[in-house]
Amino acid sequence: MDHAILFIDGENFIHKIEDVLKKHPKGNKVDITSLDFNKIFRNPLQEYKITRKIFYAAKLHFHPETKEKSERLLKTQRKLRNTLLHQKFEFLIAGNVRGQKVSVNGKTKIIFREKGVDVKIAVDLVAMAADKLLKTAILCSSDSDLQPAVQETRKRKVEVIYLGFEIQPNKGLSYTTNRMLLFRNAEILKACGLK
């Protein structure tokens, strides 16, 4: 068994789980903030001894024009953080989520965008590889922007594994990394208590 560090792009990961759940008739009843995340990662990573599990999330900001949504998002993130910490994940705030006004069909609405998480993951990958703190990196993200960091990490003799989802694996990351592992939809549903 190899020792490995798991790098999780939090928002990306949660959205992919939600995409799988949307395909199930009872998927909308699953509280993602209360899941057993260790169970979700168990099958695809069974041959690795994970020494650190880092969940990267963006800092949320209250937006006065979307008071209810802002409060709901902040409450959800707090609950998710507590669940992850209880399950021995590191919860790292990197970047920000900000509300931005956009015009859609002549109407102004506010959308929330995350910025900075992928940069922090990239910096951590390369820094840990350069400092020889990393032998195997498991990258749970479908963000193609991480490809240059993956290439730099691999140049430093670190094995990089892309952990993606069968519903839309990232081809760029699958070519850039040493190996690709996938979450199967059935495994995700089973870990969420659905069949």
Q: How many CB atoms lie within 10 A of CB 153?
A: 26
Q: Full-prediction pTM beyond 0.75?
A: yes
Question: Hey, is 38 helix, strand or coil?
Answer: helix
* Residue 1 clears pLDDT 50, i.e. is over it: no
Query: pLDDT tens for residues 74-119?
Result: 899 999 999 999 999 999 998 777 667 778 788 877 676 677 799 9
Query: pLDDT tens for residues 132-186?
Result: 999 999 999 989 999 999 999 999 999 999 999 998 899 999 999 999 999 999 9
In the chain, how many domains are there? 1
* Residue 150 structure tokens: 């993956």
Residue-number span of the structural domain to which 137 is assigned: 2-191
Report which residue type is found at 28.
N
In order of 64, 97, 108, 111, 161, the CA distances from 100 in angstroms are: 12, 10, 10, 5, 34
pLDDT average, residue stretch 46-56:
95
Check which CATH number belongs to the domain holding 147 and give it: 3.40.50.1010
Which residue bears the tokens 């993956």? 150
In order of 46, 112, 150, the CA distances from 31 in angstroms are: 25, 21, 32
Least confident of 25-34, 54-63, 88-97: 54-63
